[in-house]
Amino acid sequence: ALNLYWTQVRMMYSCFEANVRASDSSVFEHEMPGGQYTNLMFQASQLGLGTQWSEIKRKYIEANKLCGDIIKVTPSSKTVGDFAQWMTSNNLSAQDVLDRADTLDFPTSVVEFFQGYLGQPVGGFPEPLRSKVIRNKPKIEGRPGESMPPLDLRKIKQELRAKFGKHITDVDVASYCMYPKVFEEYQGFLSKYGDLSVLPTRYFLGKPTVGEEMHISIEKGKMLIIRLMATGALIEGTGARDVWFEVNGEVRAVPVEDKNAAVDTVTREKASSDPGSVGAPMSGVVIEVRVKEGQEVKKGDVLCVQSAMKAPPKAKGGRMLSLINHIVKITMNDGRTLMGKMLAFDRHMNLVLADCEEFRRIKKKRKQGDQEVSESVEQKRTLGLVILRGETIVSLTDEGAPPAADDDKKSSLMPGPGRGMPAGRGMGMMPPPGGVPPPSMAARPMPYGMPPPGMPGGPPPGMPGFG
């Protein structure tokens, strides 16, 4: 039973596997820790360096020697890994780093290592590389904790509670003191998504299927029953979709980023060797600009701060209103496909379609020689005006706006003889052309008291004025 449990756990976390199927004997050369091996491989693929993994391992050896052949444990191993990826992306050798160290922009983790934030390596820092890397930044000699200023933990706790809420504990204070940026990012995640630790692993790592119910206990005695109902069309320009859930019987629509959506690619100017052209040391996002237009800069000045992490686009609200009078394609939970002009919708995702057509695939059997074979045939049926319940809709796709209607053609009539004249109360009717009455009015009016032709009998009894 225990083996089966861990087998299922590994299947859940298989999305984090680095696809390493065999041992790598090159570990005796680069001396990379086992945990970092797979993590660094994943990071390299995220930075677009996945095809240069062999080169990164060679640069790891050179970066380790440049750092002084240090003992590689967290976080010193991260420094060497960042150093190796930076050298690979900039096509730098160890000799290039030594020759141009006073002009290169090193990763933050490498600069802090040479400043002494991680302590003193055995044998000390290699010089003059250390001085060229940190330049005018302060050095830490000895154990970093000895020179740290004292912290007012009570004051920090009060500031964190004022910023993030009263849920901040002493453990949170310790986390903030050690990793302030990471802690603030985590609190921002909590404020946006809530505490996801209550989610079962199955739904934290993978999406549910349409119609599947999730039972989530958010606290003692409080259970949420959530069912995925439908996924809306891709919202252009945002990369998001409206996803409809039923939460304890109430329908809610949530905009969710679709990471598989196609986005427009923006091409940036590539740096060259011309004067005034400044190239980025790595692929990433500019998160802060330190200079202004027209400002004079000199060699070694910081122009901007760049992050290798890609910032996700901000998702906007739904645009169901923009689909009104558009032709939409609806996929139902029973496999049918409906196409029609959407006239209305409500918060429960109930839709009204006009000029609706239904498409379904049915299996028909036919004889082929001595055997019966079944084939799938699409069957089309015109439904007209329909109302669809939101809980039966799986997906909705915008097929475009309907063609513009030509109102002049709809209101046009066949020309014919006649003339226009004023008409009103007390005015006689316009005589027909030639004075000949229409055929329907040529006969003499039928007198009262006479039954219509073919209708026997006289007026009903007791009706005066007849006879």
Taking only the tens place, the pLDDT of each residue in 265-321 is 555 676 776 676 777 766 667 777 888 888 888 877 788 877 664 434 333 334 677
pLDDT single digits (tens) 116-129: 999 999 889 999 99
Name the pTM for this structure. Answer: 0.48
**pLDDT over 70, % of the chain:** 78
Summarised one tens digit per residue, pLDDT across range 173-184 is 999 998 899 999
Question: pLDDT tens digits for 227-252?
Answer: 888 888 877 777 788 888 888 888 88
* Position 438 confidence tier, pLDDT thresholds 50, 70, 90: low
3-state secondary structure the chain: CHHHHHHHHHHHHHHHCCCCCCCCCCHHHHCCCHHHHHHHHHHHHHCCCHHHHHHHHHHHHHHHHHCCCCCCCCCHHHHHHHHHHHHHHCCCCHHHHHHHCCCCCCCHHHHHHHHCCCCCCCCCCCCCHHHHHHCCCCCCCCCHHHHCCCCCHHHHHHHHHHHHCCCCCHHHHHHHHHCHHHHHHHHHHHHHHCCHHHCCHHHHHCCCCCCCEEEEEEECCEEEEEEEEEEEEEECCCCEEEEEEEECCEEEEEEEECCCCCCCCCCCCCCCCCCCCCCCCCCCEEEEECCCCCCCCCCCCCCEEEECCCCCCCCCCCCHHHHCCCEEEEEECCCCEEEEEEEEECCCCCEEEEEEEEEEEEEEEEEECCEEEEEEEEEEEEEEEEEECHHHEEEEEECCCCCCCCHHHHHCCCCCCCCCCCCCCCCCCCCCHHHCCCHHHCCCCCCCCCCCCCCCCCCCCCCCCCC
Q: Indicate the range of 6-20, 254-268, 432-446 predicted with least confidence.
A: 432-446
